[in-house]
Amino acid sequence: MRAPAFLAILALALALALALAGPAAAQPVRDLIQARDALAFAEAQAARARDIAQTNELATLQARLRSDQAIANLQAQRAPQPPPALPGPHAVPREIDTSQMVSIPDAALAQSNARIRAAASEPR
């Protein structure tokens, strides 16, 4: 009877040891899971930071391109325009139809000029 009692005590001690060791054995696994989660979170944050930096750099490059284009447009507007091409030595001058132009009679111009001179000479 000694052997079955010893085996029962041994089984009870083993069960008690396993029951107490369960939470302690689970701690390294929990720590590993937390470390893995922290690493995944850190990698996601780093990827987000890289994405933001890349977006900022792209916006900076686009702004620089727009300003360079605006400067080039201003310089092109400021540049002297080439003179119109001169007609060749055998070119025929164009006919100008003066009937299409506005004309003011000389008498009307003289009256207008007289009124302006009179208004300008009046003291204020």
pLDDT tier, 85 (very low <50, low <70, confident <90, very high otherwise): confident
Residue type, 85: A
Query: d(Cα 94, Cα 24) in Å, to the nearest integer?
Result: 106
Buried b (16+ CB within 10 A) or exposed e, 81-103: eeeeeeeeeeeeeeeeeeeeeee
Question: For 57-73, what is each residue's pLDDT tens digit?
Answer: 999 999 999 999 999 99
- What backbone phi and psi angles, to 5 degrees, belong to 107? -65, -40
pTM for the complete prediction?
0.40
The predicted structure's pLDDT at residue 105: 87
Residue 1 pLDDT greater than 60, yes or no: no
